[in-house]
Chains A and B, each alone.
Chain A
Amino acid sequence: DAGVTQSPTHLIKTRGQQVTLRCSPISGHKSVSWYQQVLGQGPQFIFQYYEKEERGRGNFPDRFSARQFPNYSSELNVNALLLGDSALYLCASSLDRASGNTIYFGEGSWLTVV
């Protein structure tokens, strides 16, 4: 079975631009969450979606938004990119929002803002 897949794997954007990152969860998983990992730090929680609704949000500005589709895949959008948005963006999936000990991560999308 395929694990969590993310695209694109690497991308370079210019300050002020917008970016969309995509995530496909493990088949059967209904919850998707997003994390930002800046170089030298641990992942920071951005969003969790379950059954197409936002169930949790971390301390990130409104420039960050996300959505989940009927097939449970998800997109993370970041507007008005700043240099500080350069990071590894990780997507994770789980069966449901209460499966706190069975979270599976993708390989991430490396975003560089120049």
Chain B
Amino acid sequence: AQKITQTQPGMFVQEKEAVTLDCTYDTSDQSYGLFWYKQPSSGEMIFLIYQGSYDEQNATEGRYSLNFQKARKSANLVISASQLGDSAMYFCAMREWDGGSYIPTFGRGTSLIVHP
């Protein structure tokens, strides 16, 4: 079974509008972490936001917020006031402790296109 599922292969949003990128995860661990990364065409993975499984409040980083619903095992990324520069691939990832280190698992990604 997929550990990280991103069901939206592509999303379109108009500049200045908000957009939600979906992510569901599967784990039996009580302690885990959830990330979102942005990958422009250059290839570099840019860290956006992190949510720990024990964090009670949703994480926020500037225009990015993570809508964490633990019971539903979802960790959706909300981008407010989209900008043209937000056009990129977005990956949801989960890190689990394997006894020796934290190992992240990534989803297949969502391509976001922001149009004027």
Interface residues of A (CB under 8 A from B): 31, 40-45, 48, 50, 55-56, 58, 88, 90, 92, 97-108, 110
Contacts and interface: CB of A to CB of B under 8 A. Distances in A.
B29 interface: no
Contacts of B95: 100-101
Contact of A55 (B35, B46, B93, B100): B100
18 contacts: A42-B91, A42-B107, A43-B106, A45-B104, A45-B105, A50-B101, A55-B100, A55-B101, A56-B98, A58-B103, A90-B45, A98-B101, A98-B102, A100-B33, A101-B52, A106-B44, A107-B44, A110-B43
A102 B50 CA distance: 9
Q: For the complex, would chain B's binding face be called helix, strand, loop or mixed by DSSP majority?
A: strand
B47 interface: yes
Contacts of B107: 42
B48 to A, nearest CB: 12
Nearest to B45: A105
Interface string B34-63: 010100001111110010100000000000
B98 A88 contact: no
Contacts of A107: 42-44
B45 A43 contact: yes
Nearest to A41: B108
Shortest Cβ-Cβ A-B pairs, 7 listed: A42-B106, A100-B102, A105-B45, A97-B101, A101-B50, A108-B43, A107-B44
Contact of B33 (A43, A45, A101, A110): A101
